[in-house]
Amino acid sequence: MKAASISLFGGPEVVTFHHAGPRQPGADEAVVRVEAASVNPLDLKIIAGYMQPVFPVELPYIPGTDFSGVVSSIGVQVTHLKPGDRVFGRSSPSAGGAFAQQLIVAAADLCVIPSTMSFEQAAALPTAFGTAQQALFEVGQLKRGERVLIHAGAGGVGSMAVQLAHMAGAHVIATASARNIELVKSLGADEVIDYRSQDFTTLSDIDLVLDILGGSTLENSWSVLGMSGRIATLVEFDIESREGHVGQAVFFASATPFLQEAVRQFSAGQLQVITDSIFALDETRAALEKVATGHACGKVIIRTSH
Ligand SMILES: NC(=O)c1ccc[n+]([C@@H]2O[C@H](COP(=O)([O-])OP(=O)(O)OC[C@H]3O[C@@H](n4cnc5c(N)ncnc54)[C@H](OP(=O)(O)O)[C@@H]3O)[C@@H](O)[C@H]2O)c1
| 47-57: pLDDT as tens digits | 999 999 999 99
Going from the Cα of 156 to the center of ligand 1, the distance in angstroms, rounded, reads: 7
The answer on 138 and 96 residing in a single domain is no
> How large is the average pLDDT for residues 82-89?
98
Going from the Cα of 67 to the center of ligand 1, the distance in angstroms, rounded, reads: 20
Going from the Cα of 97 to the center of ligand 1, the distance in angstroms, rounded, reads: 23
Residue 265 in domain: no
Residue 261 in domain: no
Instruction: For residue 71, give the CATH number of its domain.
Output: 3.90.180.10
| Structural domain harbouring 35 | 2-112+274-303
Residue 274 has pLDDT above 80, yes or no: yes
Which atom of ligand 1 approaches the CA of 249 most closely? Answer: 1
What confidence tier does 20 reach under pLDDT thresholds 50, 70, 90?
A: confident
The answer on 72 and 47 residing in a single domain is yes
The answer on 134 and 89 residing in a single domain is no
Counting the structural domains of the chain, the total is: 2
pLDDT in tens, 144-180: 999 999 999 999 999 999 999 999 999 999 999 999 9
The answer on 234 and 199 residing in a single domain is yes
Going from the Cα of 245 to the center of ligand 1, the distance in angstroms, rounded, reads: 23
In this structure, which amino acid lies at residue 41? P
The answer on 174 and 136 residing in a single domain is yes
Which atom of ligand 1 approaches the CA of 297 most closely? Answer: 43
Last residue of a domain, one of 233, 249, 265: 249
Predicted local distance difference test score (pLDDT) of residue 306:
74
The answer on 52 and 106 residing in a single domain is yes
Please provide the average confidence, as pLDDT, over all residues in the chain.
97
Instruction: For residue 145, give the CATH number of its domain.
Output: 3.40.50.720
162's CB contacts (< 8 A; 6+ apart) are 150, 153, 172, 174, 184, 187, 188, 189
| Residue having the nearest C-alpha atom to atom 7 of ligand 1 | 234
